[in-house]
Amino acid sequence: MCQAQSSTAFRPAVSVDDWKIIMSAIEAYSHNVKYRSLLERLERQAVLNGIAAPKRLSS
């Protein structure tokens, strides 16, 4: 019988500079659909945490 695993969010302590480097590295792969949702989530969290300004939509 399998035991249910508890699912907790992984919340590493990352500096602002590290966060920006990580986002920049992943952004280089944003043409690949596999990385887009991850980048979008990181960007939303960066805005919420004051790490980045919201991106403006071009008209």
User: What pLDDT is attached to residue 57?
Assistant: 58
pLDDT of res. 56: 67
CA 10 – CA 3 distance, rounded (Å): 20
In tens digits, the chain (59 residues) has pLDDT values of 555 566 677 777 889 999 889 999 999 998 999 999 989 988 888 888 888 887 765 55
The rounded distance, in Å, linking the Cα atoms of 2 and 48 is: 38
pLDDT at position 25? 93
